[in-house]
Structure 1
Amino acid sequence: MSLTTFDKIISDRGSRYAVSGGPATTRAEAETLLAELKKNKRFAKATHNTWAAILSGEAVRDDDGESGAAQIILQMLERAGLDDHMIIVTRWYGGKHLGGDRFRHVVDAVRHYLAQVGH
Structure 2
Amino acid sequence: MTAVTQLGVILTDRGSKYAVSGAAVSTRANVDAVLQQLKSDKAYAKATHNTWAAMLPTGALKADDGESGAGMVILRMLERAGLDNHVVIVTRWYGGKKLGGDRFRRVQDATRAYLDHIGAGL
**TM range, normalised to the smaller chain?**
over 0.9
Cα offsets for 1:5-48 (capped at 9, x unmatched): 11110101110000000100000000000000001000000000
- In 2, the alpha carbon distance for the partners of 1:30 and 1:57 equals 13
Identity of aligned residues (%): 60
* 2-structure distance, mates of 1:86, 1:2: 12
Q: Which amino acid aligns with 2:81?
A: A
Matched residue count: 119
Structure 2 Cα separation of the partners of residues 56 and 22 of structure 1: 15
Residue 64 of structure 1: aligned partner: 65
For 1:52, what is the secondary structure of its paired residue? strand
Runs of 4+ in 1 over 4 A off after TM superposition: none
Alpha carbons 1:57, 1:83 under 8 Å: kept: no
TM superposition score normalised by structure 1: 0.99
Is 1:118 paired with 2:119?
A: yes
CA displacement at 1:57 relative to structure 2: 4.7
CA distance in 2, matches of 1:81, 1:13: 32
Residues of 2 paired with 1:42 and 1:75: CA distance? 27
Structure 2: gaps spanning 5 or more residues? none
Q: Which runs of 5+ in 1 are unaligned?
A: none
Pair 1:99-2:100 in alignment: yes
